[in-house]
Amino acid sequence: FSRVKTVVHPDYARFEEFVRRLPQEDFPVDRVFCDRRNTVIATHDQGVPMVVKKYARPTLFNCFIYTFFRPSKAQRAYRYALRLARCGVETAAPIGYVHVYRRGIFHTGCFLCRFLPYPTLADAKELDEDEKRQLGEDFIAFTVSLHRHRLLPGDYNPGNILYHKDPDGKYRFALVDINRFHFGKAAMSHCMRSFTQLSGVRLSQLAALIRRYCDVRHWNLKRAWKYFLFYRRSLCRKERIKSKFKSLLGLLP
């Protein structure tokens, strides 16, 4: 009653059998990056370091949606990686993805990509003040470039943004965990929403980043700040509701 569908990039055809075995977790585990709802694992095959993302099984409703109407998270991660590469945005090179179907309905999915050996923005606290300033300037330039090309990450948090220095001494950035991405209209409101996703960054630092962003784009700072605060409050309300709901579930037998 089970069926497996694999899609492998032509450049990585030699890994087709490896991709097929992902749902059984039949691969070496070098490191576990995340083991919550979704599982992210560093692995390797044929001397190539890779990362597996195994998505938690969706709700029955979403299983139906992913079967007939919408690409799964694994499929979107693969497609979006190819699209970002065409746009000149660095991301982990996609190797392939696999779907497991049971009784003809989507059950689970996994995505496989190359490993990027860069630190995340969450690790940038180790930099000295001068390097942090340069990192901030280059990060704003990167964010402006994304938005001008109508590319809006759906999960723009420091853990999903990697950085490294190029030979000219400039910081370059790469994006991971890209299955939630919006391609299209990037109005001021949408762009300011991106800054609300920078979790762990102090409000004073966010204010400085938004000020610099508006300087580069010649945007009205007060108007942009209003959009930012609107989405920030909305996000805080959602988090409070989610927290209360989880607390309520914890009280149930």
Query: Model confidence over 89-127: pLDDT tens digits?
Result: 999 999 999 999 999 999 999 999 999 999 999 988 888
Residue 1 has pLDDT above 60, yes or no: no
> Tokens 């694994």 identify what position?
74
Would you place residue 253 in the very low, low, confident or very high pLDDT band (cuts 50, 70, 90)? very low
Report the length, in residues, of the chain.
253
DSSP character for 23? G
- The per-residue pLDDT for 201 is 87
- The model's pTM: 0.88
| 3-class DSSP assignment, residue 176 | coil
Which pair of tokens denotes residue 69? Answer: 């109407």
- The per-residue pLDDT for 37 is 84
> Tokens 């995505």 identify what position?
111
Residue 205 has pLDDT above 60, yes or no: yes
What value does the mean pLDDT take over residues 141-170?
A: 94
- The per-residue pLDDT for 238 is 67
Q: Which domains does the chain have, with CATH numbers?
A: 2-114 (3.30.200), 121-239 (1.10.510)
Return the H-helix or E-strand segment holding 241: helix 221-251
Return the H-helix or E-strand segment holding 151: strand 151-153
Looking at 6-10, 32-36, 205-209, 216-220, which range is the least confident one?
32-36
Reported for 52-60, long-range contacts at CB under 8 A and 24+ positions apart, including other chains, are 52/22, 52/27, 52/110, 52/111, 52/112, 53/77, 53/110, 53/111, 53/112, 53/113, 53/177, 54/22, 54/23, 54/25, 54/108, 54/110, 55/108, 55/109, 55/110, 55/111, 56/108, 57/107, 57/108, 58/106
Name the burial class of residue 79, with classes exposed (0-12), middle (13-18) and buried (19+) by CB atoms within 10 angstroms of its CB. middle
Strand partners, 246: none
Residue 215 has pLDDT above 80, yes or no: yes
- The per-residue pLDDT for 234 is 80
- The per-residue pLDDT for 244 is 63
- The per-residue pLDDT for 177 is 92
What value does the mean pLDDT take over residues 66-82?
A: 96
